[in-house]
Structure 1
Amino acid sequence: MPGQTDADRSLHPQRPVGASARSVLALPKAHLHLHFTGSLRIASLRELAVKHGVRLPESLLADWPPTLSARDERGWFRFQRLYDAARACVKDESDLRRLVREAAEDDVAEGSRWLEIQVDPTSYAGGLGGITPALEIVLDEARSASADLPIGVGVIVAASRLKHPMDARALARLAAKHAGDQPGEVVGFGLSNDERRGTTTDFAPAFRIARRAGLASVPHSGELLGPDAITETVASLQPTRLGHGVRSVESRSVLNRVIDSGIALEVCPGSNVALGVYQAPDEVPLRTLVDAGATVALGADDPLLFGNRLADQYRSAREDHDFTDHELAALARSSIDASLAPADVRRAAYDDIDRWLVSVPGD
């Protein structure tokens, strides 16, 4: 949260960063994997619950952050139930605007120069007159936040695997109407939720609509399922990036195909561990992916439920995988490379990453 120090909110508070380390909060970076409700501050969620008279589960109150798993259907159901409980607190226009604004503020505090926040407007359409006004509110606040803060905010419209593929086509057409490459515009089209549900190829027509409008294809794949799912996603949805994709390391041929195709991976270590994909942070194959030549962009996924934000992912790279400051800078550059940010935002971020790298450690 704003004002936190490098020692705060670490995934590993028992392993403090040395005094000579450069601040990962000050490292310029892009944030490409952040879900809409999942970006909420826990304090804001509790205030919205009071505002709307929603009773939150105890694990979003005294027991936060919750203990989660997604290794089986029961574990995923609990994760989804908590997410749905939080989403039920985001009801009106002011709630949506607050969420976008605070997500941008929190990313600024962590050094982000560009944020791509992912939203399924059908989740918020009920009280706002439909999916079009819901998305337009998000886009308008993204433009406003980008004008007020030292960050650009693009929007990814994401369909859900739990819904009919025809719903995804409707979302793709809506996203196409707002497509662009500037803050406050739709920059990509995604596919989220439990990747064990639905049939990936059924969503190909929606992604064709999005690609024709110039939108990047950014579906989730390769976290809960392995290399075969990634192969299917690459073949049918022609992704620009994969949300997660970490399990590509289980097949060298699949990993090579991802790398050779120029597909970037949005790697979210905190999510992988919280959901039980890997048992400990040092098991996340971040080093393997980077050493193989993959384009990796670290992301926080759902800080509301996992209890860690973007800077924590960089701390994990440093503490659990022994990334040097030069390697952290390379990760930050990789996040800019993989982003859909305008050219001027990219240039400024690259220059500031270089300045971070020559700064005095501890500044």
Structure 2
Amino acid sequence: MTRAVEDLPKAHLHLHFTGSMRIDTVRDLAAGHGIRLPDALVTGWPPRLARATDERGWFRFQRLYDAARSCVRSEADMRRIVREAAQDDATEGSRWLEIQVDPTSYAPFVGGITPALEIVLDEARAVSADGRIGVGVVVAASRMRHPLEARTLARLAAHHAGDEPGDVVGFGLSNDERRGLVADFAPAFAIARRAGLALVPHGGELLGAQSVMETLEHLHPDRIGHGVRSVEDPQVLDAVAEAGVTLEVCPGSNVALGVYSDPAEVPLRRIVDSGIPVALGADDPLLFGSRLAAQYAAARDLGFDDEGLARLARSSLEGSRMPRRLRAAALAGVDEWLAGPGSGLAKPGAGDRGRPPEPVAPLRPA
């Protein structure tokens, strides 16, 4: 008898701010601001994306993403996104969320990058206070902008660094892997490293194994967003394992963007069997049409039994920056989930089906 993946305690380490939105939310925001959305976000959802491994396919994906991002125009909009992302993750068994945001995208509407980040942090503290889920924030620089901007963001992230819900817990690098040189962003990552932040750049999805190797060599990451194409070179795969880097694998993203044509081709099993910790992530549910629990269901379809799913959940918790007390409670919840159907995390209104997560301790003053 298989156990429900929604009841499995886990951490969600790869979720983008704009991409986390519910489709109804982006439509509601668009209507409120008088913005016309592309048909793919109105009648054809989830959109059918072309292969993003070529320039035209990536342009279509980016156009839809930018259209959704243009609907976020106020502090209230930003708070709503954080709150709903946390609610959705908690419902699917996540005990900890690290939501990734580039505050420059929203700065024009709220008075600058500092207020934009502080709004996200403040709402992360607020939604963490009820104890269902803790939320940390990853500040992400964009490969599409000058590396000096990445240094500015790294300094801002360092200023807000901490290890509690509502703190900046990591620094990332996102957007089209084919833009910019990885080495040029090393100074920004050095700033983040000195601040004690988790280093979580993207690599190895749109580009092959060499992208992963360059990320390892120049940025010295704790985790790599995606990294699935490391399997294309056994030496790179071994290097990832030796470095102890966690890969944030997002099966729904890989298939939707055409990196793999079929879910069965996602090399999750090979990565895990190589001794590499994996944290499953949903990436951009707004455009890919699937959230966190669906990634665990996809792993089950790839042949992972409940013990295998529990291993993935443990890797996500251990690869996170969640406070130790919360991690210990969540890991204990994974053991309970394995002990028998119905153990572990209870869904809202599930009665005596399971034990709810341990409450988050009161937050220290901001």
TM-score of the two chains, using structure 1 as the length reference: 0.93
Deviation at 1:149, TM superposition (A): 4.2
Deviation at 1:50, TM superposition (A): 0.5
Cα distance in 2 for residues equivalent to 1:90 and 1:344: 34
In structure 2, the residue corresponding to 1:243 is in which secondary structure?
strand
Residue pairs, 1:262-281, within 5 angstroms? 262-281=244-263
Matched, 1:147 2:129: yes
Partner in structure 1 of residue 15 of structure 2: 34
RMSD (Å), alpha carbons: 1.0
In structure 2, which of residues 106, 112, 115 is the aligned counterpart of residue 133 of structure 1?
115
C-alpha contact (below 8 Å) 1:220/1:242 kept by paired residues: yes
Letter in 2 for 1:117: I
Mapping 1:264-343, distance limit 5 Å:
264-319=246-301, 321-343=302-324
Residue deviations 1:20-43, cap 9 Å, x none?
321000000000000000000000
CA distance in 2, matches of 1:360, 1:111: 14
Structure 1 residue 119 displacement after superposition: 0.1
Shift of 1:227: 1.1
Is the counterpart of residue 349 in structure 1 residue 349 in structure 2? no
Match of 2:31 in 1: 50
Structure 2 match to 1:7: none
| Counterpart Cα distance in 1 of 2:130 and 2:338 | 27
Other-structure match for 1:70? 52
CA deviations over 1:248-270 (Å, ceiling 9, x no partner):
11111111111111111000000
What is the identity, as a one-letter code, of the residue corresponding to 2:10? Answer: K
Shift of 1:230: 1.0
Q: Hey, what does 2:147 align to over in structure 1?
A: 165
Output the CA distance in 1 between the equivalents of 2:232 and 2:320: 25
Kindly provide the amino acid, as one letter, of the partner of residue 146 in structure 1.
Answer: S
Distance 1:360 1:56 in 2: 43
Alignment-derived partner of residue 124 in structure 1: 106
Identify the residue that residue 220 of structure 2 maps to in structure 1.
Answer: 238
After superposition, the C-alpha distances for 1:144-166 in whole angstroms (9 at most, x for unaligned) are 00002411100000000000001
Q: For 1:159, what is the secondary structure of its paired residue?
A: strand
Q: Residue 95 of structure 1 is aligned with which of 77, 81, 86?
A: 77
User: Amino acid of the residue matched to residue 311 of structure 1?
Assistant: A
Alpha-carbon distance between aligned partners in 1 of 2:32 and 2:89, rounded to the nearest angstrom: 25
Distance in 1 between residues matched to 2:29 and 2:99, nearest whole Å:
20
Q: State yes or no: 1:61 paired with 2:34.
A: no
Out of 191, 194, 197, the position equivalent to 1:212 is: 194
Taking the aligned partners of 1:331 and 1:127, their CA distance within structure 2 comes to 39
Deviation of 1:322 after TM superposition, in Å, equals 1.1
Letter in 2 for 1:30: A
Deviations 1:224-275 (A, max 9, x none): 1111111111111110000000011111111111111111100000000000
Match of 1:190 among 168, 172, 189: 172
C-alpha distance in 2 between matches for 1:72 and 1:249: 20
What is the TM-score with the length of structure 2 in the denominator? 0.93
Q: How many Å apart are 1:359 and its aligned residue?
A: 1.9
Please tell me whether residue 114 in structure 1 is matched to residue 76 in structure 2. Answer: no
Cα shift readout 1:36-55 (whole Å, capped 9, x = no counterpart): 00000000110000011110
> More deviation in 140-149 or 185-194?
140-149
- Residues 7 and 342 of structure 2 are in contact (CA less than 8 Å); yes or no, is this contact kept in structure 1? no
2:4 maps to which residue? 23
For the 8 Å contact 1:172–1:189, the answer to whether it is kept is yes
The 3-state SS of whatever aligns with 1:126 is helix
Counterpart residue type for residue 31 of structure 2: V
Deviation at 1:361, TM superposition (A): 6.6
Amino acid at match of 1:357: L
* Residue matched to 1:16: none
Question: Is the 1:224–1:277 contact (alpha carbons within 8 Å) kept by the matching residues of 2?
Answer: yes
Q: Is the 8 A contact 2:41 2:47 kept in 1?
A: yes
Structure 1: tracts of 5 or more residues without a match:
1-19
